[in-house]
Amino acid sequence: MSSFEEVFGRTPTATAYAPGRVNLLGEHTDYNDGYVLPIAIEQRTCVSMSPNSGDEHALYSEMLDSTVCFTLDNPPAEHFATYVYGCLVEAREHGIEVPMVDIHVQSNVPMGVGLSSSAALEVATLRALRALTGAPLDDVHIAQLAQRAEIEHAGVRCGIMDQMASSLADTRSALFLDTRTLERRLVPLPPVSVVLVINSGVARILATSGYNQRRAECEEAARRLGVAALRDVDNVSAADALPDPLRRRVRHIVTENARVLLAVDCGNAKDFGALMNASHASLRDDYQVSVPELDQLVALLQAHPLVYGAKLTGAGFGGACVALCEPQALREIAGTVLRNYESAGFAGRLLVPSPVEGNEAK
């Protein structure tokens, strides 16, 4: 690993951080103007910047041990760099004067598992740029620019949940967000409960998965139902006349929004867990974004006596599962579940709480 000083030969002018997130409820509802309930995780991305005297931006990724150079009029070919490039372009479009900069990225947010590593990178980049330039960007504006960067430059037609969570959430409370109005408030977890996250071992890439297809299906269903977005459908029976898979997509979005609203006022961990279990079933059967490995891992978590509920988290098609658990034995829960998962022929990994070096649950 190489620090900013080792790569660029001087200290950075500005440094900023942003966390990854895990979504407790509200999967695929954000691009339907619905409700979501994410929470930040301990892992975060660090972006450092300093102006340079050259005619190109230089971006170094510590994870990839690679440097990419580009201008805002000549986008980089490397996919990871398009997120940073997109943030700088969108900032310029927003009226911010973006100097030529050297950029250093370090992150322990796992990539490709549904914990919003891209949003953490985008938000940290824009926070560093804000610190460098003094740009008048509040945390909501940063999330909005980050979302535009991902849509316009990374090719993922994402909603705003990930960027809002990375910009505004913390690790102690969930962020209840109305993605249409951006009204939000922090919601404490139910008493005597904590979050556990396990990677299924199946990587997924949003831009090449069924994510954009699901969004297009929702937009077509909304068009046929005569509403601006599926957020405006109150009853699943409204979709009875639609063909599959549109009927199933509507059913998931309507019931998932309802689950988020129930969870916000739920002070009981068992009831909250039951909502998570129902969410996974809906994601598996109606939204069809689960895979056998995720289903196996979720079933093992749900069967553990100290787990209240579990589901896939993020877009699906692989990635991680999140569980709400009793707090006294998180590593015992993770160890038991991962051993049983391995016995079934799969390979998972504990993500949250962060594994202790040399003492990771397996």
What are the residue numbers of the active site?
162
Is omega for the bond preceding 245 within 30 degrees of 0, making it cis?
Answer: yes
Decide if 289 contacts 214 (C-beta within 8 A): yes
Q: CA–CA distance from 104 to each of 37, 70, 116, 295 (Å)? A: 31, 14, 19, 38
Dihedral sign (CA 282, 285, 291, 296):
positive
Amino acid at 280: H
Q: Which of 131, 137, 155 is nearest to 206 (CA)?
A: 155
Is omega for the bond preceding 353 within 30 degrees of 0, making it cis?
Answer: yes
Q: Which of 86, 234, 222 is nearest to 148 (CA)?
A: 86
What are the backbone dihedrals phi and psi of residue 46, each rounded to the nearest 5 degrees, phi first? -115, 130
3-class secondary structure, 193 = coil
d(CA 349, CA 267): 30
DSSP states of 231-292: GG---GGGGTTSPTTHHHHHHHHHHHHHHHHHHHT---HHHHHHHHHHHHHHHHHTS----H
Q: Which of 316, 307, 311, 358 is nearest to 337 (CA)?
A: 307
Q: Strand 57-61 vs strand 101-107: parallel, antiparallel, or unpaired? A: parallel
